[in-house]
Amino acid sequence: MTSVNVTTTKNTVTVTGGDSKVVTVTTAGPQGPPGDFGLDQTAKVDGSLIYYDATAASFKADAVNTTSTLTDGGNF
């Protein structure tokens, strides 16, 4: 099998000649979470869980939802 590294950005791939039966083309995609994740962690405490606050329209990690509040009678 022959490997080819392409360092020039182009929008077309042409395979000519040879006995190649399988051609795989990969490109790097966007990194990180999609869109504006907007995590507010300014009030985080030990055991904070990430949750969505619709009023603030953002994700939060604070003392409202923690591992201890969920396991000690919290609402599921």
> pLDDT by residue (tens digit) across 5-59?
767 766 676 777 777 677 777 777 777 766 767 889 999 999 999 999 999 888 9
pTM given for the model? 0.47
C-beta of residue 23 within 8 angstroms of C-beta of residue 45: no
Q: For residue 50, give the amino acid letter.
A: I
Domain that holds residue 54: 39-71
In total, how many domains does the chain have? 1
**pLDDT over threshold 70, residue 72:** no
b/e per residue 15-28 (b: at least 16 CB within 10 A): eeeeeeeeeeeeee
Q: 46 in a domain, yes or no?
A: yes
pLDDT digits (tens, 9 = 90+) for 44-61: 999 999 999 999 888 999
Q: 62 in a domain, yes or no?
A: yes
**H/E run at residue 67:** helix 67-71
Q: 23 in a domain, yes or no?
A: no
- The beta strand positions in the chain, using DSSP E, are 39-40, 48-53, 58-66
